[in-house]
């Protein structure tokens, strides 16, 4: 508090002396007259511009102190306003540089920053920061962190309280990161539109809708994807302007713990000084040694979203989320899709045993596991080579030759494709970030090491999102962005890593949150399971989309929900209710006794909770 008051006293004195200097041009004969006359003007001006920062009382007190100070200085001859003084202030007191900024900051914040950069470090080199927070990376973790920091009104408690609060440095030239530009968003646009195309071509007739010949216009489909991306990136830019976050287009790297050198996309070079820095640089596709990516024939997810024509044969290396989703897109559009997976199952975190109810009215039960999921996709045209290792891939005469063999050794074979998608995971992106310049610690997988408050081993530098620990998910990064801003502002933030949902946007969709049954078994926890099939759900039957189920796993003693796994229509939307229930410690009975609208798919979650809690459901 004392520091804050002293800062504003200094600013007040500067403000008054600045006005007094301007008034020396007036035909008045006495410095004392000038001092007293301008005291009233100075008080009014300072009160108008600055009183909102700390309230009326403090504004009045500081203005009074400043007025007396000006009178003492001028009236007793301690200082005179000579025309030879630079900015009207002798070099022994750092007043004028402050008042220049104070008087114009409402007109041009950029000038404030330039003037601060010029003058303030001379007088207060250890206390000067240009920004309170600089975020490196404008993706799903970085841009929410920047906006949240601005919303929280972070201030630097030095003379730089009038600086720009938050800046975000982004190398791409558009905000939103991989997710918005070449990941989550464009892939969902393609998944949605390819599903509509496939349904129109193959399914509408059975629903009583005759549409005649259906033709694919891939160019327009890609334009629709790009339109969605552009609209959302522009939306983030608008939010930056709304909350006064400075958007800096360029590559940022550490010059020091508080200094960020930026190579602008326009060729400019600048250095930002920040009190706090947040690393949110995301991830990049993992490459397979010996396979050269050209984004035309051998592509990452980025290239797979912009193919100019539908490939006749499309090979996916990796049976995880990205591979299955993009494989679904091109399968629906007419490609023969083959998935090559090193492991014996697809789907990543898919629960190994989910009870599935047949679509028939007999309600015959059998297991729905990753093998059954594979069968579901096989019916859609997928081919799978599981337990298979890829040794190499190269382009020969316009075709891609992929050399594979059994994962545990065996005969090799060569697969032919028009396009090959390499989707074997992602790795943290830190190239050119200058981590070595400040000694930031990374682990053997290239992840930035952080503590529970996102701090690196350099205390003022924090890290969130794909570039550090945890699942590489946009919504996980977003939550960390909120939390890191709150921690910087108040010391408190929250992310519950036990309740991070995951979704595979195939059809049917697959979604899960919390623990799988295998994990709970290994932990030795006594549990109960409730599984409810969509074939028994009214809305699913009206939509003729009944494949899948909801599985709820609870603690057998407390009835608390430990995990939820859904395979079926709109699973990605339904998992949000499960995450909410788990976040607030709801029991299965709590959900089962909560009224759900009818007919809705969400009723399947309610019924599964009733089964887990009581062993019976109403409609099954």
Which one from 76, 492, 565, 598 is the annotated catalytic residue? 598
Tokens of 164: 């720009």
Helix (H) or strand (E) holding 619: none
How, if at all, do strands 313-317 and 336-340 pair?
parallel
How far is residue 304's CA from residue 297's CA, in Å, rounded to a whole number?
9
Catalytic site includes residue 598:
yes
Tokens of 78: 């301690």
Helix axes 142-151, 218-242, angle to 10 degrees: 30
Judged on CB neighbours under 10 Å (0-12, 13-18, 19+), 359 is: middle
Which regions of 418-486 does DSSP assign to beta strands (E)? 419-422, 426-428, 461-463
347-350: list long-range contacts, CB under 8 Å, 24+ apart.
347/319, 347/320, 347/321, 347/373, 347/504, 347/510, 348/320, 348/321, 348/502, 348/504, 349/502, 349/512, 349/516, 350/504, 350/510, 350/512, 350/565
The residue whose two tokens read 């005179």 is: 80
Residue pair 450/465 in contact by the 8 Å Cβ criterion: no
CA distances from 519 to 40, 514, 523 (A): 73, 10, 6
How far is residue 80's CA from residue 21's CA, in Å, rounded to a whole number?
9
Which residues participate in catalysis according to the annotation?
598
């Amino acid at each position: 508090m004392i520091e804050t008051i002293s800062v504003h006293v200094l600013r007040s004195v500067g403000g008054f002396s600045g006005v007094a200097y301007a008034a020396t041009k007036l035909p008045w004969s006495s410095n004392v007259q000038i001092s007293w006359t301008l005291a009233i003007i100075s008080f009014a001006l300072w009160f108008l511009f600055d009183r909102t920062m700390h309230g009326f009382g403090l504004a009045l007190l500081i203005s009074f102190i400043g007025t007396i100070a000006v009178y003492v200085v001028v009236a007793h001859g301690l200082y005179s306003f000579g025309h030879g003084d630079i900015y009207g202030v002798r070099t022994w007191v750092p007043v004028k540089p402050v008042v220049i900024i104070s008087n114009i900051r409402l007109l041009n914040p950029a000038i404030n920053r330039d003037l601060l950069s010029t003058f303030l470090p001379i007088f207060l080199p250890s206390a000067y920061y240009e920004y309170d927070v600089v975020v490196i990376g404008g993706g799903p973790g970085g841009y929410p962190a920047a906006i949240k920091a601005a919303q929280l009104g972070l201030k630097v408690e030095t003379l730089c309280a009038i600086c720009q609060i938050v800046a975000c440095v982004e190398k791409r030239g558009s905000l939103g990161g991989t997710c918005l530009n070449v990941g989550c968003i464009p892939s969902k646009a393609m998944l949605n539109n390819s599903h509509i195309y496939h349904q129109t071509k193959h399914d509408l007739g059975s629903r009583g809708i005759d549409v005649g010949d259906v033709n694919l216009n891939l160019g327009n489909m890609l334009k629709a994807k790009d339109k969605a991306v552009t609209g959302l990136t522009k939306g983030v830019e608008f939010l930056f302007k709304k909350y006064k976050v400075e958007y800096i287009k360029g590559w940022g790297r550490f010059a020091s713990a508080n200094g960020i050198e930026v190579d602008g996309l326009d060729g400019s070079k600048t250095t930002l000084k920040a009190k706090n820095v947040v690393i949110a640089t995301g991830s990049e596709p993992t490459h397979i040694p010996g396979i050269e990516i050209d984004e035309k024939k051998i592509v990452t997810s980025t290239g797979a979203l912009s193919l100019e024509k539908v490939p006749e044969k499309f090979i996916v290396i990796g049976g995880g989320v990205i591979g299955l989703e993009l494989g679904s897109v091109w399968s629906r559009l007419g490609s023969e899709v083959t998935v090559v997976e090193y492991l014996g199952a697809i789907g990543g975190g898919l629960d190994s045993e989910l009870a599935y109810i047949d679509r028939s009215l007999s309600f015959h039960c059998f297991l729905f596991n990753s093998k059954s999921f594979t069968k579901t996709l096989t019916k859609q045209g997928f081919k799978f080579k599981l337990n298979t290792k890829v040794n190499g891939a190269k382009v020969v005469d316009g075709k891609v030759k992929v050399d594979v063999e059994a994962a545990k050794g065996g005969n090799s074979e060569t697969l032919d494709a028009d396009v090959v998608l390499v989707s074997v995971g992602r790795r943290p992106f830190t190239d050119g970030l200058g981590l070595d310049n400040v000694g930031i610690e990374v682990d053997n997988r290239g992840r930035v090491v952080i503590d529970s408050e996102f701090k690196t081993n350099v205390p003022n530098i924090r890290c969130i999102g794909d570039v550090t620990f945890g699942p590489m998910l946009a919504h996980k990064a977003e939550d960390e962005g909120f939390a890191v801003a709150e921690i910087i502002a108040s010391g408190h933030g929250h992310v519950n890593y036990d309740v991070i949902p995951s979704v595979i946007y195939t059809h049917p969709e697959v979604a899960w949150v919390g623990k799988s049954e295998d994990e709970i078994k290994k932990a030795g926890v006594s549990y109960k399971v409730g599984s409810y099939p969509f074939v028994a759900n009214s809305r699913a039957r009206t939509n003729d989309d009944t494949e899948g189920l909801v599985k709820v796993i609870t603690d057998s003693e407390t009835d608390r929900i430990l995990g939820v796994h859904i395979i079926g229509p709109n699973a990605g939307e339904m998992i949000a209710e499960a995450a909410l229930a788990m976040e607030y410690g709801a029991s299965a009975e709590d959900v089962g006794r909560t009224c759900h609208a009818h007919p809705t798919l969400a009723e399947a979650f309610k019924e599964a909770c009733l089964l887990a809690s009581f062993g019976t459901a109403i409609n099954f």
